[in-house]
Amino acid sequence: MNLKFKSITGFLTFFIVLLTMPIGHAIMVLVQIIFGEFYQFPAAILLGLVGFIFLMVGMGKENETTATWYGFFSGLFLWTGWVEFSFVYFAHHLNIPPEMVDGNIVTKPEYLILPSSIGLLLATGSFFFLNSQTRCRFFIWFHKNLKLNVKKISEKGISTNSYYTPPLHLQPVYKRLGLKKGSFPVSEELSKELICLPIYPSLSKLNQEYIINNFNKLIN
């Protein structure tokens, strides 16, 4: 298996997110201290709502860097407000006692029920991992380098993606050229309509014919 690394950007991103996870925990502790046991859950709902607003705003941003920052804070606030505090809520609701050793709390109740979410994690991960329409570069990287034809599991059997949305002149790497939306209207319109079919050196003749025949049936 030959894994192709074009850059270390993805791994740097992973470690940045990993190292910033304590920020979410710090926000959680601050909410608990500031609002107390009674008001912490309404505050958590509002925190998650702020994250949801960030998500909606970020989805409308054409600049990838700006959208990424909105997504980062969205994930941070959503996870802290609606996920982490849900463990706290259900631990309180179910009256789960903390783990004690020599009279000291070694594990809080919310952390004791954390493993119960492993099923949801696996289900969500499987959904995105087997989704050929994903735009997430993390999963696309695995699809390509592990040569997973995930679309074969779905209805049509052919993986399709859109790699040029937005078109090249609107992507961050060409920002220095000063081009804006409307500079190339034909390219911008076509970028919304095109799809990319599988094409790579190891694509077998049999699979090529399969793709061509099915695509011709689709358009005819």
pLDDT grade, residue 163 (50/70/90)? low
Confirm if 70 and 55 have CB atoms less than 8 A apart.
yes
Residue 2, sorted as left (phi over 0), alpha (psi -120 to 50) or beta, turns out to be: beta
Token pair recorded at residue 180: 């804006």
165 and 76 within one domain? no
Query: Is residue 149 predicted with pLDDT exceeding 80?
Result: no
Question: Is 176 contained in some domain?
Answer: yes
Q: Please provide the average confidence, as pLDDT, over all residues in the chain.
A: 79
CATH of the domain at 193: 3.90.1150.10
What are the beta bridge partners of residue 99?
Answer: 107
Structure tokens at 82: 């609606």
pTM of the predicted protein model: 0.54
Question: How many domains are contained in the chain?
Answer: 2
Task: Detail the DSSP E strand segments found in the chain.
Answer: 99-101, 104-107
Q: Examine residue 128 and state whether it is found in any structural domain, yes or no.
A: no
pLDDT digits (tens, 9 = 90+) for 18-50: 788 788 888 888 998 999 888 999 999 999 999
86 with 28, same domain: the answer is yes
Residue 85 · residue 44 · CB < 8 Å: yes
Token pair of 60 as six digits: 């409308």
Cα–Cα distance between 78 and 66 in angstroms, integer? 18
Q: What is the pLDDT of residues 47-56, one digit of tens each?
A: 999 999 999 9
Model confidence pLDDT, tens digit, residues 197-206: 777 777 788 8
Let me know whether 14 and 108 are in one domain: yes
Assigned domain for 3 exists: no
Domain with 205 in it: 152-219
Q: Is 104 helix (H, G, I), strand (E, B) or coil?
A: strand
Same domain, 104 and 174: no
- Least confident range from 16-30, 42-56, 81-95, 137-151: namely 137-151
Alpha-carbon span 34 to 28, nearest angstrom: 10
- Residue 131 CB neighbours (<10 A): 16
79 domain residue, yes or no: yes
Does 151 have pLDDT greater than 60?
A: no
